[in-house]
Amino acid sequence: MSESKEVVAVKVGVKTSKGDQLTTLDLTCPLRDTVADLCQRGGLAMPEHYALAFAGGKTGYICEENKQTIRKGDLLQLVRSPAVVCKEIIDKLSFASLDEKMVALNVLLGHSSDPVFAVGFISNNGHKLLLSALEGGLYKGLLLCKVLQCLQELMEHNLISWYSLTEKCLNRILKETNSLGALNALTMEVCLSVLESVVNSNPYAYEIVFTGLPWDRYAHFIVEGSISMLKNSVVLLNTLFVKGNRSQQLQIEDAILRLNMKVSIWKSLTKKGNVDVELAQVLYMLQSLLLNAYEEKRRATLDISNPVLTEKLQLLLKFGFCINPEELDLKQRGSRRFSAEYTALGFRHVAAPLKDFMYPTGKFAFENLCYFAENHSASFTRVVQENVCCSPQHRCPLTQSSIMLSELLCRIFRIGEPISDQGTFYLMFYSHDRFFEELFSVCMVLVFKTWREMRATTEDIHKVFSIVNEQIVRALSLNPRSINIDAFRATFSSLPYSEIMNQLHRESAERKAFESQSTAVKELRDSLKDDMMELVKSNRINVLAEGARFPKYNAKGQRVKDRYVYVRLSPNGKTLHYGDCGASCEYAAIEDLTQKLVVADIEAVNTGIHCPQAQGRSNRGVIDVAFSVVPCNGETPLNLVAPSVKVLHRWVDGLNALLGHDVDSIEARGDLGVLLDMEIKLRLLETEGVQIPDVPPPIPPDPADFDFYFM
């Protein structure tokens, strides 16, 4: 059999200023001859001024190198050649008015992404014209913005590099960026983007940009600028941090802390929202860089002779036992003063307590513990006093726990590890300038709580921290975009030891079941998930229909004694009826409830600190179970406080089901897992003892004919 011949001619459509043509292109013919032929047929003079370009879905000039990509049915157009367009642009940039220069820059920006055009423009030194004008300060505002955008596009072809930008060019861009006048947002975004590109590729430009753009300008862009400006500012900070030496990195860290940049980023994100994938990656990079800065503290060693550390140690006594060592008779207590208190805290070396921290991560843990005691003194006092009240064998050792928790958080947030390309951005990281210390303080309370729930002894400390690890990791997975640390604390508060054990047992059983079953069972489980979720939603709506009694709070968020609010859903599921009732009321008919809220008018269901009745309160028991039903017409929301977390989850799930939102509380996920397990077991009863294949049986081939024969 002979080989098929290579296709050398294709039928295409060609658009010209004199009309469209349907023609056959000979791909073996020189392109200039093809263009000349098309010009002749279209009545166009000077064919050397024309070129072919793709139209429709494809874009770009056609040259000898890429003409083989033309396919049958492609739509082409006869346009002015790159050389002609380049000459017009260069002439206007050299001699025309500012308005005409703006037109030329717009044309250049539209063509710069085309590699054929870029080669021609750069070979005619067009880029040098842009750089010269940039050095001389000829362009300002939008004109400067267009010049920089054109340079960015031209750089993408790797024909010229950012080394082309001289110090004068950089100073010109920095001057524009530092201008305090009203500037176009796009101009600022482009200036920041160009500065980042230069720093990233030209090490000699680092010092110019590092010293040329004050830190307060970054803070200004983050607070006052758009999301794009925020992103470009953070990208530039990331690049300066990565490319800088340790001294420069410390200056960046100090500026971010001193100017509250993290909190400013958090406020901008919570106000403007819409964190896309690219911005999340940028914020993850800054998050990783700042968290990795703790590695130096983690590796630091502790000097027990340091008087500053000795003074800090006394904070643990001051806030843990409400005593002030400076006011006591030190001579009376002797060299082993406070030995009873140190023993109660779990110190081994009561004569020299700082020795307990002479381990890897010890000094870091000590600093975190002192931060906890000083900045969250009420919580610290409470956990210490509760711990002291336990029998000696059931006390949680404070020093060892603080070291293990510091190490655990470092592992979870990968402190000290190389920064990966992909990771999780946590919004709560930006909610506080001292994120790690704040998270340590919150998690230290969790450690003591879990310790009590497990009735642990000192020998069980590793088991306790395995559960704490599960609590923190699962909370991060459940709610990676927790708005702040308090919201994150509320998430892992809903994961007590009992819930973690239930989840681990359930996952273990599921894993064993899946390991012993085929892919078909997994597919069956996935196919049943939607139906089971509908059952969960139906159950939650029934809970609302049955109604419940909630404690009443006044407008100031204060509990009204012996007064309650009874709420229930109408039988048709369209209206929430509610009204006041007394302490003796266990059930209220809809007719007795004088107020109502139409479900269709509900705008949102808020929980926790976002509820008016929880704001400004220190009682976590109220904050964790508060929820508000917010109408869309601006009326007063229905503010409620559930008697328990379980009731909160069921009511919020029911309201979300009515509104068509996802039902994803821990309670709902647990019920979904139970229902799926039960349904799978019921469906597999008849297959007991039958081996289910890993893959479905093959489909038999079609019969020879489809004639049916009846016997």
pLDDT single digits (tens) 473-506: 999 998 888 888 989 988 888 899 999 999 999 8
Chain-centre distance of CA 188, in angstroms? 24
Give just the sign of the alpha carbon dihedral 541, 545, 550, 552.
positive
Q: In the prediction, which pLDDT does 675 show?
A: 92
- Say yes or no to pLDDT of 656 above 50: yes
Q: Dig out the tokens for 278 from the structure.
A: 């690219």
Q: In the prediction, which pLDDT does 335 show?
A: 40
Q: In the prediction, which pLDDT does 332 show?
A: 44
Domains in the chain with CATH codes: 9-80 (3.10.20.90), 86-270 (1.25.10.10), 298-497 (no CATH), 542-669 (2.30.29.30)
- Say yes or no to pLDDT of 198 above 90: yes
| Cα gap 217→221, rounded to integer Å | 6
- Say yes or no to pLDDT of 621 above 90: no
* Nearest by Cα to 363 from 411, 412, 301: 301
For tokens 């509900």, name the residue. Answer: 602
Q: In the prediction, which pLDDT does 570 show?
A: 92
* Nearest by Cα to 44 from 86, 6, 16: 16
| Cα gap 206→212, rounded to integer Å | 10
| Cα gap 37→194, rounded to integer Å | 44
For tokens 């000829």, name the residue. Answer: 138
| Mean pLDDT computed over 66-91 | 87
What are 545-592's pLDDT values in tens digits? 999 999 887 766 677 888 889 999 999 999 999 998 888 888 888 888
Specify whether the CB–CB gap between 74 and 53 falls below 8 A.
no
Highest mean pLDDT of the ranges 66-80, 132-146, 326-340, 403-417: 403-417
Q: DSSP labels for 616-657?
A: T---HHHHTTEEEEEETTSPPPEEEE-SSHHHHHHHHHHHHH
DSSP class of residue 61 equals B
| Mean pLDDT computed over 626-655 | 88
| Cα gap 531→255, rounded to integer Å | 54
All residues at 6 or more sequence positions from 523 whose CB lies less than 8 Å from its CB, including other chains: none
| Cα gap 118→175, rounded to integer Å | 28
Q: Which helix (H) or strand (E) holds 277?
A: helix 277-292
Q: In the prediction, which pLDDT does 4 show?
A: 41
Q: Which helix (H) or strand (E) holds 580?
A: strand 575-582
* Nearest by Cα to 189 from 155, 232, 134: 232
Pairing of strands 9-16, 75-80: parallel
**Helix axis angle, 435-454 to 398-412, nearest 10°:** 120
What letter represents residue 705's amino acid? D
| Cα gap 644→471, rounded to integer Å | 20
Share of the chain above pLDDT 90, in %: 34
What are 282-315's pLDDT values in tens digits? 999 999 999 999 999 999 888 888 888 888 887 7
Share of the chain above pLDDT 70, in %: 92
Q: In what order do the strands lie in the sheet with 626-631?
A: 602-607, 626-631, 638-641
- Which of 195-209, 261-275, 282-296, 406-420 has the weakest average pLDDT? 261-275
pTM of the model: 0.69
Rg (CA), the chain: 35
The per-type count for the chain, helices as H runs and strands as E runs, is: 29, 11
* Nearest by Cα to 651 from 582, 602, 616: 602
- Say yes or no to pLDDT of 208 above 90: yes
3-state DSSP call for residue 551?
strand
Higher pLDDT, 68 or 462: 462
What are 165-189's pLDDT values in tens digits? 889 999 999 998 888 765 678 889 9
Q: Dig out the tokens for 307 from the structure.
A: 């008087």
Residues counted in the chain: 711
- Say yes or no to pLDDT of 516 above 70: no
Q: In the prediction, which pLDDT does 5 show?
A: 47
User: What does pLDDT average to over the chain?
Assistant: 85
| Cα gap 574→662, rounded to integer Å | 18
Using a 10 angstrom Cβ sphere, with 0-12 exposed, 13-18 middle and 19 or more buried, the burial of residue 634 is: exposed
Q: In the prediction, which pLDDT does 2 show?
A: 40
For residue 407, is it left (φ>0), alpha (ψ between -120 and 50) or beta? alpha
Number of Cα atoms under 13 Å in the Cβ half of residue 651:
29
All residues at 6 or more sequence positions from 182 whose CB lies less than 8 Å from its CB, including other chains: none
